[in-house]
Amino acid sequence: MTPNFDWIPTEVYESVSNVFTHGAEKHGEYGWQTQDAYGPKGIEHQIKKALGHIYKWDAISELDEDSGESHLAHAITRLIIALDMELRKDGPGRGKEAPQTEARAKAEREFSRLLSKGETSQPKASRRD
């Protein structure tokens, strides 16, 4: 099945893109891809950080003070990074890059294009207050 980016709401793209942009400005572009996925900054670290944002959203504040985005957007971003790390590996501790399929490469290019251009085939829905 071909990926269908129309299923992901525009606001989710925008919010997660804003968190990735904020992170790139603070820590460098694609910084997580240079980390050892099974080292101290690996998958477990990303999941712990995601859970921390979920806790903050539930107990403290819906918005991250530093970025102004929802803690849920930060949690989703951390989980995307963890999934990216998992998909790039051949298993815990093996450190082999997963072969990239043409479909995945095409999907990544399309996702990047949508995020960087702010384009979407969906009409922009109004935000709830």
The pLDDT value given to residue 94: 40
Tell me the pTM: 0.65
Mean pLDDT of 53-72: 92
Lookup result for tokens 């099945």: 1
- Distances in whole angstroms, Cα of residue 5 to Cα of each of 37, 76, 80: 26, 16, 15
Amino acid identity at 54? I
Confidence of residue 31 (pLDDT cuts 50, 70, 90): confident
Min mean pLDDT across 8-12, 18-22, 33-37, 107-111 is at 33-37
Q: Where are the domains of the chain?
A: 9-117
Which of the pair, 105 or 66, is modelled with greater confidence? 66
